Amino acid sequence: MSPTEDEITGWFARQRQLSPATILIGIGDDMAQIAVGQGASVLITTDMLLDGTHFDLRTATLQQVGYKSMAASLSDCAAMATIPLAAVAAVALPAGFSEQQLKELHAGIMFAADKYDCPLVGGDITSWRGRGPFAICVSMLSKPGNSPPVRRNGAKVGDAVCVTGSLGGSGRGRHLEFEPRVREALKITACVTLHAMMDLSDGLSSDLNRICNQSGVGALVHAAAVPVSQDAKLAADPLSAALNDGEDFELLFTLSAEQWAKLEQTWDDPVPITRIGAITNTGRMQIRMPDGRINGLEPHGYEHLRRG
């Protein structure tokens, strides 16, 4: 059985002891944080998006692809409650890709850059010599916001587990036009202290599993509380779609019961926040079904190294 992306990433992370004086956060979170002197630090993320995997250029426009490539990295900035600073974009162009197509892609990048105040400051344009599909890699810098960057490994037993927005069915089109929750993450951390956070890129079941693993805790999800999107309601199994579909790009976070009470009382944003469960000491993920049964919850989200 071939390893998962998390197993490989974990192996990579164990190969070197990074200097804690300069690498404040290393491999395994949504962004890495690097000290740059004078007490300042910067965070960085990189995302590779591929034609046929993350979008399909037979149906998606290049403007949508440019937007999505920026929005995916902006979502990483949000995942740690940090403030986007600047982005660079590298592209691999298939044969026959035209100047007009590059400008359409650029327009999508700039729409996101302007909307989220994250300028494009550089890039790299390369072309396949032989046959190769379109690929784009955006790398983005951010700086800490209202709090130290919120990591995946701080969830505590008893925490409320919350998500923004609604989940599932992103593949019906939302995955190309989602709103990265940059503003919401900063608004939340201006109000309360979070213990752990990440963005939902591979599906709630897989991403909550990452918070549990990295925090050394379990979780109990209340199925009836999971906000199922309108798109997911069109699926054969809407709950499964909300639990396992990837690319929601909503925020998943945990905080103490007291802090949750405060957040619930003060949150007046059009983007809803829903408490979907609690962090437990069981060491594994479980789900309470609407009929009261408690089942194991397996990480069945998107696996980047899945074959076939």
Please give the residues from 201 up to 240 whose contact with a second copy meets the rule CB under 8 A: none
Q: How far is CA 8 from CA 79, 222, 245, in A?
A: 22, 31, 22
Q: Which is nearer to a second copy, 39 or 290 (CB)?
A: 39
Among 119, 173, 272, 283, binds a second copy (CB under 8 A): 119
Q: Which of residues 26-65 bind a second copy (CB under 8 A)?
A: 26-27, 29, 31-32, 34, 36-42, 44-54
102 binds a second copy, rule: CB under 8 A: yes
Asked if residue 14 binds a second copy (CB under 8 A), the reply is no
Q: Which is nearer to a second copy, 80 or 255 (CB)?
A: 80
H or E segment to which residue 196 belongs: strand 196-199
302 binds a second copy (CB under 8 A): no
Q: What angle do CA 34, 38, 44 make, to 5 degrees?
A: 20
Taking CB under 8 A as the binding criterion, the range among 60-68, 225-233, 253-261, 299-307 that sits at the site for a second copy is 299-307
Question: Mask 126-145, x = binds a second copy (CB under 8 A)?
Answer: xxxxxxxx-x-x-x-x-x--
- Name the residue nearer to a second copy (CB basis): 201 or 259: 201
The least CB distance from residue 47 to a second copy, in Å, is: 5
User: From the list 58, 59, 99, 292, which residue makes contact with a second copy (rule: CB under 8 A)?
Assistant: 99
Q: How far is the CB of 40 from a second copy (least distance, A)?
A: 4
Q: Find the helix packing angle between 182-191 and 257-266, rounded to 10°.
A: 120
Tell me if 292 contacts a second copy by CB under 8 A: no
> Which of 192, 197, 167 lies closest to 75, judged by CA?
197
Instruction: Tell me which of 14, 58, 293, 307 binds a second copy, using CB under 8 A.
Output: 307
Nearest to 238 by CA among 226, 249, 256, 221: 226
Listed in order, strand segments (DSSP E) in 28-172 are 32-37, 40-50, 82-93, 120-127, 135-144, 160-164
* Region 146-185 residues binding a second copy, contact defined as CB under 8 A: none
Around Cβ 128, how many Cβ atoms within 10 Å? 14
Which stretch, 97-105, 154-162, 179-187, 215-223, contacts a second copy (CB under 8 A)? 97-105
21 or 236: whose CB is closer to a second copy? 21
Strand, coil or helix: 252: strand
Terminal C-alpha separation, the chain = 13
Residue 7 one-letter amino acid: E
DSSP β-bridge partners for residue 139: 46, 88
* Bridge partners (DSSP) listed for residue 138: 47, 89
Q: Write down the least CB distance from residue 13 to a second copy, Å.
A: 9
Q: Considering the complex, state which of residue 140 and residue 228 has its C-beta at the smaller distance from a second copy.
A: 140
CA distances from 283 to 28, 159, 272 (A): 20, 14, 29
**Site membership for a second copy, residue 88 (CB under 8 A):** yes
The answer to whether the beta carbons of residues 135 and 51 sit under 8 Å apart is yes
Contact residue for a second copy among 57, 61, 85, 262 (CB under 8 A): 85
